[in-house]
């Protein structure tokens, strides 16, 4: 949340008491002295004593109605008190007096801005600048008007002109920073906010905006310090406490967040943004009854407030009342909410109206190009629909979207974007879930084929597994652990940015064959510990993902839901499940047997050893799906009605894993239909594989020499590609 602050006249930013005493001495000598009355009026205005300011200004006008500055001062103080009609009359009186037209025009420009008519303010600022081109205040006022009209670059140019004329003006630095932040230049904005604070250490609004900017960049400690300084300087500012509350909530410091929300509420119980923050806090805690209560309170105070209507749509969406949510988002858009357009796209997406969702997300980005969330949603929609050329490029918006990366990593080296790599050491680092790292680790070999020394940094549960990559066994990639200092490197790239670098399309997804595997001895031990002696096909099963994933309730199921499959004859079911869901094995009916094969695994290398012994893996959308696919195992992935973007839409196969089949819900929550189709397909699957077990397809049978051969083939392919591009 950004905030602007108007500065007081330069000569009143010092010791107001001393200035006031000087004017009082003048008034003791002459109670009707117009200069002293004007001065005392401005002192009262700077001290926010508006009634006293008006009284003094009227006394100045009565004392010297022929002096234009008295009328300008009266206009200023009446405007500050919100008496716009009277202020306008005072300015117009001043305009007709010699030498006062410029100041009066400046005041009228400010007045037009105050009543929300920046386009009308332009003519007054232009007039002032025609008369006095070196008037910094007029350049700054014109900048404000242009900024309000969305003409950001023109506004920034005016602020820079004002600074050229008055180089040490904190308010101009502040205004320039505001525009730089708005136009997606956070580093420059941060520099300018800090410069404003250096010029005016007590500039509360600059501390506030700096804190908000730092929060948006994931610099939580610095953001907290800046916001704390803002509320220290201005304890009565609701926005400061509110932003502190939002920061605490993002850090899961819920007690502190509630404390700051209570402080904001105590200052302004009817403040709509504060009520909205309470509503969102309750919704985040899954207290929907509390969220609705706070929303109703906000609706009573601001029924047409765009964010009240937008939040109404969000609560409806969370309750899966999607059609109603769409209507609320439309209304919020009409009222001016920028966020509502992308939210409407999300609801349309969940309803399966994909093309309409795409249109909404495109509209959201067009309306607010700097909104990271809108750009991210658009990218995911394009990827889902197979428009990977634009989708991967837009997916880079995730680094600006705090819901994906609350505290993105920063490096003191450049990001790799496809330039030649000969001789460079490149860090490829995982960034999201275990499955993501497995899916995109295949690109490590392609990067090595460009001539780089690769350091692949992954989550601890993946460290041993990634040593089975051909490029690692060939000695062309080191495996490092996230959270620990990696070996020295020259350049870096996130794993999930590599498809964009390589220009991946649906037709060109790299598939070198099974690229992850298991240790043969570990696989033999797993076989020995997961055989019940009854024979039959060995099928691994996993039914639940990470419960911390926000959409986990849609992709995961209870083990009991799988009973129609688990009762099929001649199948030896082996659990690949990890985490708390393993406990569900205890509650199975007596006629169903599922062996716990992975509950005590140390990491995914142990899971790979078990997968290597299986004929088939059936799983929901978990890291096990990616593991089995990367090992070249037949894997059936059970997907919710609206699955993750990577599985695309209305297809039963995926270019990422040729051995995978996708079983989608035909309607939200319809796991029964998915299992019915899977059961019917099992008999056909066994017939297709009756000539031999699939257990031999593990992806682990290649030695270091073979691994090096695979990398050399990739290198040759890259060279061929380069030569074709130069023809």
Q: What is the pLDDT of residues 212-257, one digit of tens each?
A: 999 988 888 999 999 999 999 999 999 999 999 999 988 889 899 9
pLDDT the model gives residue 723: 35
- Residue 430 pLDDT exceeds 60: yes
pLDDT band at 275 (very low <50, low <70, confident <90, very high): very high
Contact 107, 75 (CB under 8 A): yes
Residues 349 and 383 in one domain: yes
Question: What does the alpha-carbon distance between residue 527 and residue 40 come to, in Å, rounded to a whole number?
Answer: 91
542 within domain boundaries: yes
Confirm whether 227 is domain-assigned: no
Question: Above pLDDT 90, what percent of the chain?
Answer: 61
Q: Is the pLDDT of residue 722 over 70?
A: no
CA-nearest of 29, 37, 35 to 54 is 37
Q: Is residue 720 part of a domain?
A: yes
Give a yes or no: residue 692 inside a domain: yes
**Residue 414 is encoded by which pair of tokens?**
């450049």
Residue 632 sits in a domain whose CATH number is 3.40.50.2000
Q: Which residue has the tokens 């001016």?
A: 336
Condensed to tens digits (0 to 9), the pLDDT of residues 44-58 reads 888 888 888 888 888
Whether residue 677 is found in the same domain as residue 533: yes
608 touches 517 (CB < 8 A): yes
Dihedrals phi, psi of 283, to nearest 5 degrees: -65, -40
Specify whether 343 is located in the same domain as 418.
no
Q: Which residue range(s) make up the domain with 389?
A: 304-400
Classify residue 220: in a domain, yes or no: no
Which of 81-95, 365-379, 630-644, 673-687 is predicted with the least confidence, judged by mean pLDDT?
Answer: 81-95
pLDDT at 14 over 80: no
Q: Which residues of 15-38 are buried (b: 16+ CB within 10 A; e: fewer)?
A: eeeebbeebeebbeeeeebbbbbb
| Cβ(564)–Cβ(674) below 8 Å | no
In a domain, 486, yes or no: yes
Nearest Cα residue to 395 out of 353, 361, 445: 361
Q: What is the pLDDT of residue 201?
A: 95
Short-list 603, 649, 650, 654, CA closest to 625: 654
Same domain, 633 and 668: yes
Q: In angstroms, rounded to a whole number, what is the distance separating the alpha carbons of residues 572 and 593?
A: 8
- Across 463-483, average pLDDT: 95
Nearest to 124 by CA among 286, 111, 116, 115: 111
Cβ count within 10 A of residue 464: 17
How sure is the predictor about 714, in pLDDT bands with cuts at 50, 70 and 90? very low
Residues 372 and 438 in one domain: no
Q: Looking at residue 613, what DSSP letter applies? A: T
Q: What is the pLDDT of residue 88?
A: 83
Instruction: Tell me the β-bridge partners of 660.
Output: 635
Q: Determine phi and psi for 599, rounding to 5 degrees.
A: -60, -30
Over residues 184-197, the mean pLDDT reads 94
Q: What pLDDT, on the 0 to 100 scale, is given for residue 699? A: 42
pLDDT above 80 for 697: no
CA pair distance 543, 562, nearest whole angstrom: 8
**649 within 8 A of 354, measured Cβ to Cβ:** yes
The pLDDT value given to residue 696: 45
Q: What's the pLDDT at 511?
A: 93
Contact 640, 674 (CB under 8 A): no
Q: Which two tokens stand for residue 241?
A: 């406490």
Taking the C-alpha atoms of residue 144 and residue 136, their distance in angstroms, rounded to an integer, is 12
Do residues 464 and 572 share a domain? no
Q: Which of 33, 68, 75, 34 is nearest to 54 (CA)?
A: 75
CA 423, CA 288: separation in Å to the nearest integer? 56
More confident residue, 97 or 598: 598
Q: What is the pLDDT of residue 535?
A: 66
Q: Which two tokens stand for residue 526?
A: 């797993």
Last residue of a domain, one of 400, 422, 441: 400
pLDDT tens string 539-554: 999 999 888 887 888 8
Q: Could you tell me if 555 and 645 are in contact, meaning their C-beta atoms sit under 8 angstroms apart?
A: no
Supply the mean pLDDT for the chain.
88
State yes or no: pLDDT of 715 exceeds 60. Answer: no
Residues 669 and 558 reside in one and the same domain: yes
What does the alpha-carbon distance between residue 562 and residue 663 come to, in Å, rounded to a whole number?
14
- Helices H / strands E in the chain, number of each: 35, 10
Whether residues 435 and 383 fall in one domain: no
Helix, strand, or coil here: 404?
coil
pLDDT mean over 626-647? 95
With respect to residue 655, please indicate whether it lies within any of the assigned structural domains.
yes
pLDDT 10s digits, 512-524: 899 999 988 888 8
Count of CA atoms in the C-beta half-sphere (13 A) of 720: 6
- Cα(722)–Cα(581) distance, integer angstroms: 49
- Which of 121-125, 198-202, 204-208, 373-377 is least confident? 121-125
Task: Give the model's confidence band at 24: pLDDT under 50 very low, under 70 low, under 90 confident, else very high.
Answer: confident
Strand partners, 573: 539, 594
- Mean of pLDDT values over 336-365: 95
The count of residues in the chain is: 727
Q: Name the token pair of 301.
A: 């105070």
For the residues of 293-328, what is the DSSP string, one character each? HHHHHHHHH-TT-HHHHHHHHHHHHHTT-HHHHHHH
Within this chain, do residues 525 and 562 fall inside the same structural domain, yes or no? yes
- Residue 666 domain-assigned (yes or no): yes
Residue 389 belongs to a domain with what CATH number? 1.25.40.10
Lowest mean pLDDT among 333-337, 420-424, 471-475: 420-424
Q: Do 662 and 524 lie in a common domain?
A: yes
CB 453 within 8 A of CB 390: no
Last residue of a domain, one of 360, 381, 400: 400
Closest CA to 637 of 653, 650, 624, 620: 620
78-134 per-position pLDDT tens digit: 888 888 888 888 888 888 776 677 888 888 888 888 888 888 888 888 888 888 899
Residue 482 has pLDDT above 80, yes or no: yes
Among 3-7, 339-343, 403-407, 532-536, the minimum mean pLDDT is found in: 3-7
Measured distance CA(522)–CA(619) in Å, rounded: 22
pLDDT at site 78: 86
- Are 552 and 581 in contact by the 8 Å Cβ rule? The answer is no
Contacts made by residues 146-153, CB under 8 angstroms, sequence distance 24+: 146/118, 146/122, 147/175, 147/178, 147/179, 147/182, 148/113, 148/118, 149/118, 149/119, 152/179, 152/182, 152/183, 153/183
Report, as an integer, the average pLDDT of 144-162. Answer: 93
Local confidence band at 721 (pLDDT 50, 70, 90 cut-offs): very low
Question: What mean pLDDT comes out for the span 266-283?
Answer: 94
| Cα–Cα distance for residue pair 335/326, rounded to 1 Å | 14
Contacts of 41 (CB under 8 A, 6+ apart): 52, 53, 54, 56, 57, 60, 73, 74, 77
C-alpha angle 52/54/58, rounded to 5°?
120
Instruction: Tokens for 351, please give them.
Output: 């309803």
- With contact defined as beta carbons under 8 Å apart, do 633 and 694 qualify? yes
Task: Read off the pLDDT of each residue in 197-209 and give the average, rounded to a whole number.
Answer: 96
Q: Is 698 helix (H, G, I), strand (E, B) or coil?
A: coil
Taking only the tens place, the pLDDT of each residue in 310-321 is 999 999 999 999
Q: Are residues 511 and 636 in the same domain?
A: no
560, 435: one domain: no
Q: What's the DSSP call for residue 10?
A: G
- Which comes out higher in pLDDT, residue 402 or 359? 359
Q: Indicate the pLDDT class of residue 15, thresholds 50, 70 and 90.
A: low
- CA 259, CA 406: separation in Å to the nearest integer? 22
pLDDT at 6 over 50: no
> Is the per-residue pLDDT at 727 higher than 60?
no
Strands 425-429 and 491-494: parallel
Confidence (pLDDT) at 120: 87
Task: Give the mean pLDDT of 279-289.
Answer: 92
130-150 pLDDT, tens digit per residue, is 888 999 989 999 999 999 998
- The pLDDT score that the predictor gives to residue 494 is 96
Q: What is the pTM of this model?
A: 0.79
Residue 27, pLDDT score: 82
Contacts of 719 (CB under 8 A, 6+ apart): none
- The secondary element (H helix, E strand) that includes residue 280 is helix 272-284
Distances from the Cα of 47 to the Cα of 50, 271, 301, 422, angstroms: 8, 24, 30, 65
- Number of domains observed in the structure of the chain: 3
Last residue of a domain, one of 379, 400, 421: 400
Percent of the chain at pLDDT exceeding 70: 91
């Amino acid at each position: 949340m950004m905030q602007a602050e108007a500065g007081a006249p330069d000569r009143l930013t010092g010791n107001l008491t001393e200035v006031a005493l000087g004017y009082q001495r003048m008034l003791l000598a002459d109670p009707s002295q117009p200069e002293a009355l004007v001065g005392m009026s401005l002192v009262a205005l700077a001290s926010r004593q508006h009634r006293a300011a008006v009284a003094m200004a009227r006394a100045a006008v009565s004392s010297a109605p022929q002096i234009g500055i008295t009328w300008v001062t009266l206009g200023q103080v009446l405007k500050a008190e919100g008496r716009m009609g009277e202020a306008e009359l005072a300015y117009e009186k001043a305009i007709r007096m010699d030498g006062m037209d410029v100041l009066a025009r400046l005041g009228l420009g400010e007045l037009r801005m105050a009543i929300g008519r920046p386009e009308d303010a332009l003519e007054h600022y232009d007039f002032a600048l025609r008369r006095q081109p070196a008037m910094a205040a007029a350049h700054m006022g014109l900048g404000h008007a242009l900024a309000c009209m969305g003409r950001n670059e023109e506004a920034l140019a005016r602020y820079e002109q004002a600074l050229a004329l008055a180089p040490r003006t904190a308010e101009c630095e502040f205004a320039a920073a505001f525009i730089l932040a708005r136009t997606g230049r956070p580093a420059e904005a941060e520099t300018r906010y800090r410069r404003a604070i250096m010029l005016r250490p007590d500039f509360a609004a600059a501390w506030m905006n700096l804190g908000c900017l730092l929060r948006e960049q994931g610099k939580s400690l610095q953001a907290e310090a800046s916001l704390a300084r803002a509320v220290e300087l201005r304890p009565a500012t609701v926005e400061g406490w509110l932003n502190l509350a939002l920061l605490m909530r993002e850090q899961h410091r819920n007690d502190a967040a509630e404390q700051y929300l209570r402080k904001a509420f105590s200052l302004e119980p009817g403040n709509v943004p504060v009520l909205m923050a309470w509503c969102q806090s309750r919704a985040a805690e899954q207290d929907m009854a509390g969220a609705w209560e706070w929303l109703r309170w906000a609706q009573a105070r601001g029924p047409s407030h765009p964010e009240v209507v937008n939040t109404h749509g969000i609560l409806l969406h969370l309750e899966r009342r999607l059609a109603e949510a769409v209507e609320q988002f439309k209304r919020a858009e009409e009222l001016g909410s920028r966020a509502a357009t992308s939210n409407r796209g999300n609801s349309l997406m969940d309803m399966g109206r994909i093309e309409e969702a795409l249109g909404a997300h495109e509209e959201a980005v067009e309306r607010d190009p700097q909104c990271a969330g809108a750009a991210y949603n658009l990218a995911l929609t394009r990827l889902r629909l197979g428009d990977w050329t634009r989708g991967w490029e837009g997916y880079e918006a995730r680094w600006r979207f705090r819901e994906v990366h609350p505290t993105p990593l920063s490096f003191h080296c450049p990001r790799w974007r496809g330039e030649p790599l000969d001789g460079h050491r490149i860090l490829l680092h995982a960034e999201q879930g275990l499955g993501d790292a497995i899916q995109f680790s295949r690109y490590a070999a392609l990067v090595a084929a460009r001539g780089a020394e690769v350091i692949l940094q992954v989550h601890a549960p993946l460290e041993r597994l990634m040593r089975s990559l051909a490029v690692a066994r060939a000695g062309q990639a080191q495996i490092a652990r996230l959270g620990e200092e990696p070996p020295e490197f020259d350049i870096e790239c996130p794993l999930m940015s590599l498809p964009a670098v390589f220009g991946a399309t649906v037709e060109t997804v790299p598939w070198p064959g099974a690229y992850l595997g298991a240790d043969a001895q570990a696989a033999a031990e797993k076989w020995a510990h997961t055989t019940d002696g009854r024979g039959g096909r060995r099928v691994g099963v996993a039914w639940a993902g990470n419960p911390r994933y926000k959409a986990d309730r849609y992709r995961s199921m209870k083990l009991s839901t799988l009973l129609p499959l688990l009762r099929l004859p001649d199948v030896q079911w082996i659990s690949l499940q990890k985490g708390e869901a393993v406990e569900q094995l205890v509650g199975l009916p007596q006629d169903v047997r599922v062996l716990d094969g992975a509950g005590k695994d140390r990491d995914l290398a142990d899971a790979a050893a078990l997968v290597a012994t299986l004929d088939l893996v059936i799983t929901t959308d978990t890291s096990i799906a990616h593991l089995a696919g990367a090992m070249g195992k037949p894997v059936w992935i059970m997907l919710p009605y609206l699955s993750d973007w990577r599985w695309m839409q209305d297809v039963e196969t995926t270019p990422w894993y040729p051995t995978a089949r996708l079983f989608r819900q035909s309607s939200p929550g319809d796991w029964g239909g998915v299992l019915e189709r899977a059961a019917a397909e099992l008999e056909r699957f066994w017939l297709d594989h009756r000539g031999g077990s699939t257990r031999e397809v593990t992806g682990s049978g290649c030695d270091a020499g073979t691994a090096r051969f695979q990398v050399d083939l990739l290198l040759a392919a890259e060279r061929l590609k380069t030569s074709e591009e130069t023809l």
